[in-house]
Every structure is written in C-alpha cells, then in structure tokens.
Structure 1
C-alpha cells in the first residue's frame, strides 16, 4: 500500500477540526496516511481520543512534535500577536522534519471529499512546491503591492501545498523565508503565505483548484477548504446568509470523531438565539469588510484558474 506523508499544524484548540479532517481523508483514500502534527502541543487526553479513531479507521498513523515559534524564531511578539503564530511554522516544516523528502501540507479547516492519491501523484515539473491559486484578493487589498510582487505574478494559496522537501532544504528556502519575513514584517497581511509567495514570485506548480476548493463551486471537488468564509463548525450559513456548501459533509466526518458531541454543543452555543437570517449570519464577523470580500469573490470567481 502506498504511503502519503502529511504535515498538519495544530494546537489543542483546533484538535476537533483536525480530527474531522483526518476522518475525511482516511475515509476517502485507499493509501496509508502518515500524519505529522506540529504546534504548541496537544494534550494527552486529545491524543488518546485521536488514537481511538484508529479502532475504526485503520489506514493512518500519527505523531506529534512541539514547536513554539515565539521561542525558536526571531519574529517579534507584536507580529505574532496580530497573526496566528503557528502559521509561520509552515515555511520551516521541511527543515523540522529532515527525514521526510516529500509531503502534503493541509490547513485543518479542510475536508477531503474524494481520494487524495491523485494529489500525491501530481508532478511538480521540477518546481519545489505545488499549490492552487488564491482568490484574487491581492488586487482588492493590495497584498502584492505591499510585498513588492508584480500584479501579474501568480499568488498561491498555501493552505494546501505539495512539497519537495529535499529541494526546499537544498535551496535553503526556510532561510530565505525568514529573511523576507524580517524585511517585510510590517507589511504582512497573510503571514507566511505572503512570505512564501514573495520568495517564489510565481515559480511554483499551479495545481487544479479541485485540490483546494475555496467556495465549493467547482465540479469534482477533491478537497474543500473552508477558507475566508464562516466555518461549518460555527454556522450553517456564510457571511451572505447562504448555506455553506459541503456543510453536511463536514458534519458527516465530524460524527466519525470522539469530538462530535463537544462540537455539537459548541455549535448550539454559538448559534443560540440565532434565527439564521442573513443579518444574523454576519453577526460578530467583521461584517462590512467580510461582506465586501464575499461580494468581490462572486465577481472574481470567473478568474479562477488564471494568473492573479
């Protein structure tokens, strides 16, 4: 049986979502999955719960590594406090796992809807990593301009990356990323994603968006990424008051985990006294800014697959 190596960045608070993602991947994939979890640390209780999933889902192994960016990197607390510090781990992963030569990185707000073996077998065409294009938010918020990236340059969504870890190490990409972070740290909007895109300047393999579907509008989706819009563990509706695509799929896989009851309780608490109207759907969610993003995405979705 083929083995697929996967890096997951997670702390204890996000374990239920990570477990849901693991259940989705393993349920849809015939290959054996080797999950390498890294972050500030996972409690022994939560590790045990994930291990219990092995009783019913046999095709995975999991190990854990503790790595705290604040203690190991020269990145000021001010920067880390306004961004999720763990995301900066992404640009260091190949060096933190020197024994691994190829891996997939996935954010934990994703689920697999089909076998991911096709992703694993994708050719990188001599590139160091592959990723789907991000939405064209660069022009909207000036991400690229702030990072001195040409507007015509492809910009990767780094929530999912297929990486040649050996080439990453050989080309000293981590060192280059840390240098760029230091130079542009006051201009970062998307943390490590800005840094990685600045280092590579479009020199990456563009993967089909079916491997990282941000809105769920594509046909034949393999991996759904609940990115930018409201998360399915919080609401049934996005910030425009519309049903989140693949909401039921996410909860189907959540039910396969030992965290299901807790997730239901948290969902009910969050939605208490919520009538699920469009106005309620954007409550407490940076209403104006995020609604503008959603409207812009509707207009720009036709650009999917083009350089942005």
Structure 2
C-alpha cells in the first residue's frame, strides 16, 4: 500500500537552489511505498523559477509538485535577521491545502536523511494543533528572558517552526488562521515561530530531535548533553545525530562553512543538480580565504582551538 504524505515548502527565487537540494534529499530517502504530495507556496507577485523544481518530477517518480500562490497580506509584516515574507506563508497552510487534515511543513535550508512515513502516520494529533521539536530556548538566557517577560510563555515549551506537522483540520475548525493573521502585524523577535507558539500554546505535541536537528541542537548535544537528557533519551539523541533532519538555521552550507555542512554537500553531490565547477569553486575559494587570513586572525583561531576546542576532547 502506498503511503501518501503531503509536505509543504514556502520560498522565493532567492532560495530555489537550496530548495531543489532539500527536496531532492527528501525524495532520495523515500521508501518504495512512499509518495510525496509536494506543495510549494510562493507570492503571486513573483514568477517563481521552476526550471530546477520541474526537474525533480522528471528525475524522481515518487512525487507530485503543486504550486499555490499566496496573496499580499503578509507583504508588510515585520521582518528581522534577513527572514523574509515567505516565512509567514506556513501560517496559511490549513486554508491553502484544504485537501488534507494533517500536513508536514519544512523550511528549505534542510537535508532529509530518512523517510517521513513513520513520523507522519505515527504522530497522533487528535488533541493538538501542531507538532514540533523543542527549540531549547530555556538554555539561552536572553531567549529565556524574552519568552518569559515579553511573550509570557514557558521557555521550556517553545518549538521550532522550521519543521512542523499541522493538524490542519483542527486549526480550520477552531479558526486559528484569523488569529495568525492578526498577530502577523506585531514585531516579534522570531516572527512566525512566536506566532505559532503563542496561538498553539497548550495544544503542542513535542517530537524527538530527529525531526529538526538544528544547528543549536547539534551544539547542545556536544556541550549541554545532560540538559538534553532531561528532554530526550540517549537513543533519541543518537538517532538525531545519525539520521535526523538537518536544519541549517544559521550559516548556510552553500554559502560558507557551518555545523554539518559536509552533510549538505554530500547530498548536493548525489543530487541531479550537481555541478563540478560550483563544487570546486566553493572549496577552492574557501581555502584561499584561509590562506589570506592575517596573522592576528590565525592566532585567534589557534586560541579558540586550544582554549575551547580541546575541552570537548
């Protein structure tokens, strides 16, 4: 029996390249019995470049891609840290994808390393609006204070918004979209993430870290493992390291070196979009950057290694 899984992405032309690699990794790891019904949300005011995206359906036969346009409602919403308007589009998923009662959403600065059928069909959202992974906001003092003092939320219960499962049916029934639209006019530090945590508070299902192995979660697994063991088991942490969805919610691997950048480049090499020149130029230029560092910057790198890096050995 075929497992049909709806999954939604939202982006503009600035991110079509990483979106192609992201979706390629999703399809590359699909079981033979999994079929992905992919929806791409984009602004109706932008002609989305579909050249690479259309190639996905030609290369992989276990998917269908549908494009849905979004109106200009969020065009004047608050933006911070370079996160643009399409970040808000996920808030409209229940209305834009009415044919499904439960839907997965993912950002495109992501690499999938396993099939999603088990978590999609195995996550019971009957009593919840949404499912996601704990963001560990309580481990960062400024974020902890922000959620307590400004958002009046428990910082130990905040989830990431980059990888989610929506109970779209329940959201539609309880008219959450109008609340989302209302709050989108406010200036929140974490934009859509704040809105989802505020509106869905008390109705959030918490998933294991393999569903969103963010850069910060990866760091915490190394330096704050005892704190993580209060949330997840050792086995759950190891599974996230080995096969979890890698989310690059900081530096992007196609732009520079970052945590788990090698995983992204490996999937790029295996994708139908691999370009030898782009691959060579990236690493050659990075080596040149290191060669051209000033003496003082080289000393700082050595100090970092001997003072901080060796502590983890």
Q: TM-score, normalised by structure 1?
A: 0.76
Q: CA deviation at 1:81?
A: 7.1
Instruction: Decide whether aligned partners of structure 1 residues 152 and 16 sit closer, same or farther in structure 2, where only a CA change above 3 A counts.
Output: closer
Give secondary structure in 2 for the equivalent of 1:127. coil
Distance 1:131 1:112 in 2: 16
Q: Which runs of 5+ in 1 are unaligned?
A: 239-243, 283-290, 299-308
Greater alpha carbon shift after TM alignment, 134-143 vs 260-269: 260-269
Structure 1 window deviating more from structure 2 (17-26 vs 212-221): it is: 212-221
CA distance in 2, matches of 1:203, 1:279: 48
Please give the root-mean-square deviation of Cα atoms over the aligned residues, in Å. Answer: 3.3
| Structure 1 residue 174 corresponds to structure 2 residue 171 | no
SS at match of 1:274: helix
Alpha-carbon separation, structure 1, partners of 2:283 and 2:47: 25
Could you give the per-residue CA deviations for residues 160-216 of structure 1, whole angstroms, max 9, x where no partner exists?
11111111111111111222334xx13x11111111111122420000111111144
Equivalent residue number for residue 227 of structure 2: none
- The 5 Å alignment of 1:140-155 reads 140-141=142-143, 142-145=145-148, 147-151=150-154, 154-155=157-158
Partner of 2:68: 65
Q: Separation in 1 of the partners of 2:119 and 2:203?
A: 19
Whether contact under 8 Å (1:9, 1:87) holds in the other structure is yes
1:207-230 deviation digits (Å, cap 9, x = unpaired): 011111114453112433333432
Distance in 2 of aligned mates of 1:76 and 1:43: 19
Q: State whether residues 144 and 151 of structure 1, in contact with CA within 8 Å, keep that contact through their aligned partners in structure 2.
A: yes
Question: Do structure 1's residue 274 and structure 2's residue 276 form an aligned pair?
Answer: no
Contact 2:91 2:180 survives alignment (8 Å): yes
* 1:90-128: CA deviation from partner (whole Å, max 9, x where unpaired): 111111222222110001011111122122122225211
Match of 1:306 in 2: none
Deviation of 1:251 (Å)? 1.6
Q: Could you say if the C-alpha distance between residues 271 and 151 of structure 1 is closer, same or farther in structure 2, counting changes exceeding 3 Å? A: same
Q: Which residue of 1 aligns with 2:231?
A: none
Using structure 2 for the length normalisation, give the TM-score: 0.75
Higher share of residues assigned helix = 2
User: For residues 191 and 84 of structure 1, what CA distance do their matches in structure 2 show?
Assistant: 10
Q: What's 2:225 paired with? A: none
What corresponds to 2:6 in structure 1?
5
For these two proteins, the number of residue pairs brought into alignment is 271
The residue number in structure 1 matching 2:53 is: 50
Structure 2 gaps, min length 5? 222-236
Cα separation, 2, equivalents of 1:49 and 1:177: 32
SS of equivalent to 2:256: coil
How far apart are the structure 1 equivalents of 2:128 and 2:169? Answer: 12
Specify whether residues 202 and 235 from structure 1 end up closer, same or farther in structure 2 by C-alpha distance, changes over 3 A only. farther
**Cα distance in 1 between the residues matched to 2:133 and 2:88:** 19
